[in-house]
Every structure is written in structure tokens, then in C-alpha cells.
Amino acid sequence: RMLSLSDVFSFDEVASWEKRTEKLLGSRPHEYFAELKMDGLAMSLIYEDGNFVQAVTRGDGSVGEDVTHTVRTVRTVPMKLHASKKVSQSVYAGRFEVRGEVVLPKKEFARINAEREKEGLPLFANPRNAGAGSIRQLDATVTASRRLEFILFGIVDLVDELPLHEDMLVCARELGFKVAPEAEVLRSLTELEDYVHKVEDLRDKLPFGIDGLVISVNDRAAFYELGVVGKAPRGAVAYKFPAEQATTILEDIRVSI
């Protein structure tokens, strides 16, 4: 299944999650991995013998929408896994699955809306919806023209070969995938606070939208040992930023029946 993360909105909630995690894992030393939470469309990519064969949206977590025809046009999705002696050779044999987000970069979103404005078409509301709509196009040439990006955040299985969450991202780069910048290993709540402030300062400068951070147990065996509650893994949470706010002027109201 493609799981959904539980949301937290404060350091106190993160501390409570950490205490629950510590209690379940016992006294074993462990660390956490923090990364950007992209504001895009979650996607599962399937490879067979190193070749891209299928792309599926999250859907309800168990069944998603097959969007292979449009995802083939996303330039950061390798059609063939890059050869590397630094990764387990098992990834090139049989089924290999990765997960990530399809995002529409901010500059591309601005370019598309400028073109639509010239053509008198309605503007897209935000990059996330525009990106999701682009992936669901029947005409793949429309998707290709919008320069989407796939940013990987996980590899399914290979726990023995990739024992740490950070190992997955190193492996992903070797295979030709793009991963989000600014990820860090954390060992305390103080380090988490520093990381949050750092990302908040960088948020507007990032090339794509984010709506928070993902904090995971770095040890993947421990992550799976913690199990799942409903649709959410116990081993990770999404630290959500406050919603961005803006002021608008209501110029007119037209009542009709």
C-alpha cells in the first residue's frame, strides 16, 4: 500500500510522537531523517529488469490510476535505470518499485499561466493542481509541454541492501532519479528546530512548493517494525507548516436564481 502520513503542527506534537516511538523501539540508539515534503502528486513507479513499465497514482492507497502514458514524458523519470556498481545489482533484475512526487516547478507554473492569460484561458490556481491535472491528461503531448519533475522519496523493499532511509536517497541518485535537497539526519528535537527554521528561511527560494517536512526513523528495519495504524506508519510524521495566507478585496457580489 501507499500509506499516508499523520500530520503534526508543533514541536510538542513531534516530541509526543518521538516519546511513543522511543517506547516502542526500546533503548536501542536511533536517529531520525528529515526531508522536504513536496506539494505534488504522489506516484509509484514500477521497473522490470531495469526498464520503466508503469506509473500509478496513490488513489486510495491500494488502487490508483494508471498514468504511465503521461509519466513517460516527465524528463526526470529515467526510462532505464542508470548502471552503477555502487548499488545492489538486484534492482536490475525483476520488479523494482520507487515512490515519489510529481511536481510542477514554480517557474514553469508562472510560464504556463502567462501563456494562458495571453490566450484568454482561466489561470491555474496553484502548481499542485496544475501538475496533477497535467498528469491526468489524455494527450501526453500536453503533459510533455509542461516540464514536470518527479522527485523520489522512497524505494520499496531492499531493506537489507539499504538499511537507512538516507541510503535510499544515495541509491536513487545513482540510478538516475532526482531527490529533494536539504535533507538531514537529526539526533534531537533541538536539531529538528534548527532544521525547521532553516527550511522556513529557504522555502520561498526553493524551485518547487513544499507544505512541510517529513520526519522518519532513519533505521528502515525499525521503521517497518513499528508497523502501521490505519493508513499511517508509526515510524514517520509530516510536520506541516501553517497555511499561507493572503488578503483580497471583494469587489462585487451578483445574486442570481
In sequence order, the β-bridge partners of residue 37 are: 212
Catalytic residue among 19, 37, 86, 231: 37
How many other CB atoms sit within 10 Å of the CB of residue 213?
A: 24
**What CA–CA distance (Å, rounded) separates 109 from 5?**
27
SS3 sequence of 198-243: HHHHHHHHCCCCEEEEEEEECEHHHHHHHCEECCEECCEEEEECCC
What are the angstrom distances between the C-alpha of 236 and each of 12, 20, 66, 164, 217? 15, 11, 27, 14, 6
Q: State how beta strands 236-240 and 6-8 pair.
A: parallel
Q: 178 an active-site residue?
A: no
Catalytic positions are 37
